[in-house]
């Protein structure tokens, strides 16, 4: 039997260790979480996408009483960025989540559907995305979607 050993790196950073661009993206994600529509879960997620040209695009989760019809913050931000700025690659994606007015202590990461969308965007532009997942106790940094989605499906 043949086996592959997969190794992934997640850096755990403090606020002081973040580059300025990451701080701005996290602050934008936190602000976006305030506007989330989450009357059922009370779990508000904000996402911010920093594009290669410096443009910031945000999104937040939008729930619906018919649960499958809601959408995650990450996909809203990415689809908006790809629609409004189709020539600009995503440089950074940041996520911040809160529940009942308190930001999560541990970082929240994208769901599987969002990870697949992020992979597609990364392949579309030929550029790895830098991820910053905010928590009040620690911040995760990951470079490249393959770290989030091992053995991913892609046409390329």
- Convert the pLDDT of each residue in 15-45 to its tens digit: 999 999 999 999 999 999 999 999 999 999 9
pLDDT of res. 68: 83
103 pLDDT band, cuts 50/70/90, is very high
pLDDT value at 153 more than 80: no
Global pTM reads 0.95
pLDDT of res. 156: 60
Per residue, what are the HEC states of the chain? CCCCCCCCCCEEECHHHCCHHHHHHHHHHHHHHHCCECCCCCEEEEEEEEECCCCEEEEECECCCCHHHCECHHHHHHHHHHHHCCCCCEEEEEEEEEECCEECCCCCCCCHHHHHHHHHHHHHHCCCCEEEEECCCCEEEEECHHHCCCCCCCCC
pLDDT in tens, 115-144: 999 999 999 999 999 999 999 999 999 999
152 pLDDT band, cuts 50/70/90, is confident
pLDDT of res. 76: 98
pLDDT of res. 57: 98
Show the domains of the chain with their CATH numbers: 20-147 (3.40.140.10)
Q: Which has the higher per-residue pLDDT, 101 or 67?
A: 101
Choosing from 74, 122, 130, 146, which is the catalytic residue?
74
4 pLDDT band, cuts 50/70/90, is confident
> Does 74 qualify as catalytic in the annotation?
yes
77-112 residues labelled b (16+ CB within 10 A) or e (exposed): bbbebbeebeebbbbbbbbbbbeeeebbeebbbbee
């Amino acid at each position: 039997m043949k086996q592959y050993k997969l190794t992934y790196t997640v850096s755990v950073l403090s606020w002081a260790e973040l580059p300025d661009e990451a701080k701005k993206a996290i602050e934008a994600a936190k602000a976006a979480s305030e506007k989330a529509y989450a009357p059922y879960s009370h779990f508000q997620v904000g996402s911010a996408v920093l594009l290669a040209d410096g443009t910031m695009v945000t999104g937040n989760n939008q729930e619906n009483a018919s649960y499958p019809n809601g959408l995650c913050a990450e996909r809203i931000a990415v689809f908006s960025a790809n629609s409004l700025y189709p020539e600009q690659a995503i440089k950074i994606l940041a996520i911040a989540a809160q529940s009942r007015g308190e930001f999560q202590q541990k970082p929240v990461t994208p769901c599987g559907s969002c990870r697949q969308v992020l992979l597609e965007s990364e392949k579309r532009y030929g550029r790895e995305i830098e991820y910053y997942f905010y928590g009040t106790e620690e911040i995760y940094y990951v470079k490249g979607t393959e770290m989030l989605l091992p053995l991913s499906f892609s046409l390329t």
